[in-house]
Structure 1
Amino acid sequence: MTLIGRARARGVETLTLDSPHNRNALSSALVGELADALDNCGKDDDVRAVVLTHTGTTFSAGADLRDPPRPEALVALLRQIVETNRPVLARVTGHVRAGGLGLLAACDMAFASTASTFAFTEVHIGVAPAVISLPLLPRTDPRALARYYLTGERLDATEATRIGLLTAAGDDVDTVLAPALDGLRRAAPQALAETKRLLTVRVLEAFDRDAADLTALSARLFASAQAREGMTAFLERRDPPWAL
């Protein structure tokens, strides 16, 4: 079963997360297929930019709790999005949770419909947004991130744009995305690659400095008793024992 759809139009490769049975959760298989697709795009001279989108009403529900990727694999995927020499743009028409927000932050631009919602739900199941912090912390408002990391509150597209999680939002996501794609199609490939390199210096510094520690933190938390209970409660659709 293919979990990543691919289509091309006028130099823009669209990669579609297509795992409806688990709301496009980041399983080990999906992470691996997406990494392979991005690698192919980076080697194809006919690809000017990449759009990352989804089927269904959820862009990504976060890590697949039944088949989670290794923390190292998720770090490698996030870094690949940041490092690839093609601009990567997220196109969201649904909900994004937890690890899915790491994909948005790793992209060079992110656009969403106003019906989309976002939440860092990790604290509710006993873990922390560890490895996804690598692209999130350098690109997102720190005060706002503290609130949404610690509370797991849901935020709308307007708030997500204000804090830097999104580039822009609109009732029709394709209307707000179109000018960006038009600009990329008019840009020289060499200029795009070098300009992206300028823009990602701080993000890649975070990967170089913190990836090992955050990978270890993620592994430790996911193996903890509280996380096991939190994930079990989530899958059983009940509150964990610490919920007041």
Structure 2
Amino acid sequence: MTVEPVVRVAHDRAITTLTLDSPVNRNALSAALVGELADGLTRCGKDRDVRAVVLAHTGNTFCAGADLRDPPHPDALVALLRQIVELHKPVVARVTGHVRAGGLGLLGACDLAIASKEATFAFTEVRIGVAPAVISLPLLPRTDPRALARYYLTGERFDAAEAVRTGLLTATGDDVDVTLDPVLDGLRRASPQGLAETKRLLTARVLEAFDRDADALTALSAELFSSAQAREGMTAFLERRDPAWVV
């Protein structure tokens, strides 16, 4: 039986678009999606015709976070986030839908993130008994700490304007492509060497966080996901009910 890909690839004028295409689980970070996305980024890194990468999605959800039925190993997620940060070509997120939990880690790892005004965001980890551990590697160096404290601790939903204010997004607009077009035009006008060295400057602090904290946060993530509270939280989520601790 042929297995349909969950990441689609398209190329236009030096820009390769990798589209998350797993509508059955709202583009959640399954082992398959993480693997295919990593493979796509590797090919883009080796292809001299690729100036930059756009990370897009089908459906109304950019990424719903970790796939609770087929989660990737924390090491694989760390490797994917680091791969986005280390890629010597800019990676731009194009968001027209909702982003939750681990999906926000993808946004944090991208160099630029453009979203429509309809997009919504939430760090929902605390509501299922875990913490945004691994995804903090790209997020903490790049986003407003007071805002992260609020949204990490409460799991509240926030809009695209707030995401721009906190540094999670680069820009938002009524039409995401109208907002994105001048960004892509600028990347097409930039030299490959100039882009690579400029990105190296911009990502230095993020990579320091990976070098310093990746092992500890990977271990924390694995410990939390195997805990009794996480089992209750994930079961409640799948059964569409409140977990036992809700008062």
Give the alignment's TM-score, normalised by structure 1: 1.00
Matched, 1:141 2:144: yes
- 5 Å-filtered alignment, 1:1-244, equals 1-244=4-247
Residue identity opposite 2:60 in structure 1: T
Q: CA deviation at 1:85?
A: 0.6
Q: Classify the secondary structure of the residue corresponding to 2:11.
A: strand
Structure 2 unmatched runs, 5+:
none
Q: CA deviation at 1:132?
A: 0.1
Q: CA deviation at 1:212?
A: 0.2
Q: CA deviation at 1:60?
A: 0.3
State the Cα deviation string for residues 196-239 of structure 1 (Å, max 9, x = none): 00100000000000000000000000000000000000000000
Q: Classify the secondary structure of the residue corresponding to 1:66.
A: coil
Report runs of 4+ in structure 1 exceeding 6 Å deviation.
Answer: none
State the Cα deviation string for residues 154-181 of structure 1 (Å, max 9, x = none): 0000000000000000010011111110
Q: CA deviation at 1:28?
A: 0.4
Q: Classify the secondary structure of the residue corresponding to 1:29.
A: helix
Structure 1 unmatched runs, 5+:
none
Q: CA deviation at 1:30?
A: 0.4
Q: Classify the secondary structure of the residue corresponding to 1:212.
A: helix
CA distance in 1 between counterparts of 2:202 and 2:65 reads: 26
Report % sequence identity. 79
Give the alignment's TM-score, normalised by structure 2: 0.98
Residue identity opposite 2:79 in structure 1: A
CA distance in 2 between counterparts of 1:198 and 1:43 reads: 21
Q: CA deviation at 1:40?
A: 0.1
State the Cα deviation string for residues 119-158 of structure 1 (Å, max 9, x = none): 0000000000000000000000000000000000000000
Q: Classify the secondary structure of the residue corresponding to 1:200.
A: helix
Q: CA deviation at 1:188?
A: 0.5
CA distance in 2 between counterparts of 1:234 and 1:190 reads: 46
What is the CA RMSD across the aligned residues, in angstroms?
A: 0.3
